[in-house]
Amino acid sequence: MKGKLIFITGATSGIGEGCARKFAAMGSNLILNGRNTEKLEALKEELTAQGVEVLTLPFDVRDRETMRQAVDSLEGKWRNIDVLINNAGLVIGMDKEYEGSLNEWDIVIDTNIKALLAMTRMIVPGMVERGSGHIINIGSIAGDAAYAGGSVYCATKAAVKALSDGLRIDLVDTPLRVTNIKPGMVETNFSVVRFRGDKNKADAVYEGLKPLTGDDIADVVYYAASAPAHIQIAEVLVMPTNQATGTVCHRQKNI
């Protein structure tokens, strides 16, 4: 992966940040997206000090026009993206489908589905033209089955599965690869965002078990990206040892 160019959406935290560090450690160059410009610049400084090239591309992935301008602004070698990691995503709340806020769900749907699709639509044609590329979507175990209070989020991650599978079909006559990584519980800022900043509620999600970290998922993403060209890791479901499904896990008192 040395010298390859990796474009990561949502690189300012959690899984995306873990991926940035992992690929940089392996000598890849990076285009890093997120809305928090301060965090993006700090990460750029840290990773360029390790000898890789980093371009920050701050934009809100829900804003298609800004996304278009950002992608169009890429020049020369920065256009030759080898791996697109569609990672930016979130959930807000744990509301019932007949009670929650349509406005909040718009944010979730626009980020998790429409932005992922728009990034794919903008970046993949160049990959097809160059005859190489890998699209890695961060789906979720939540896309496998709905759980209480997860209706809309689960639907968005089911959509990520369908979009990944559909893209794989559309690219079957090319050397391009498509991977859907489906994590279970990963302790990041995800639950803090879900519970609208309530850290206690967020911490309770991981109580009594050892959750995965963003770095754990980055290792899986890297494994898929660095597999030999004839191997397409289509899908990976990865969860903590004490998690069995989206809703079944074992918690102990002293962890």
Footprint on this chain of ligand 8X3 (rule: CB under 6 A): 140-142, 150, 184-185, 246
Residue 145: what residue type? A
246 binds, among ligand NDP, ligand 8X3, none (CB under 5 to 8 A by kind): ligand 8X3
Candidates 55, 67, 56; CA nearest to 117 is 67
Using CA of residue 59, residue 48, residue 224, residue 170, what is the dihedral sign? positive
240 binds ligand NDP (CB under 6 A): no
Apex CA 115: angle with CA 109 and CA 119, to 5°?
160
Question: Per CB under 6 A, which of residues 28..47 are in contact with ligand NDP?
Answer: 33-36
138 binds, among ligand NDP, ligand 8X3, none (CB under 5 to 8 A by kind): ligand NDP
Using CA of residue 136, residue 94, residue 34, residue 38, what is the dihedral sign? negative
Selecting among 98, 153, 206, 222, the annotated active-site residue is 153
Contacts of 163 (CB under 8 A, 6+ apart): 113, 116, 117, 120, 137
Token representation of residue 238:
């990865």
Looking at the Cβ atoms of 94 and 128, the one nearer to ligand NDP is: 94
Distance of CA 70 to the CA centre of its chain: 19
Looking at the Cβ atoms of 25 and 238, the one nearer to ligand 8X3 is: 238
For helices 102-109 and 151-170, angle between their N-to-C axes, nearest 10 degrees: 20
One residue of 186, 221, 225, 249 binding ligand NDP per CB under 6 A: 186
CB of 184 to ligand 8X3, least distance (A): 6
Token representation of residue 144:
């496998």
Looking at the Cβ atoms of 29 and 153, the one nearer to ligand NDP is: 153
180 binds, among ligand 8X3, ligand NDP, none (CB under 5 to 8 A by kind): none
Q: Which residue has the closest beta carbon to ligand 8X3?
A: 140
- Partners of 55 in the β-ladder: 31
Looking at the Cβ atoms of 3 and 208, the one nearer to ligand 8X3 is: 208
Distance of CA 247 to the CA centre of its chain: 21
Among the listed ranges 58-66, 117-125, 166-174, 243-251, the one in contact with ligand NDP (CB under 6 A) is 58-66
Residue 223 annotated to the active site: no
Cα–Cα dist 182/139, whole Å: 5
Active-site positions?
Answer: 153
Residues that bind ligand NDP (CB under 6 A): 9-16, 33-36, 60-62, 87-90, 111, 138, 140, 183, 185-186, 188-190, 193, 214
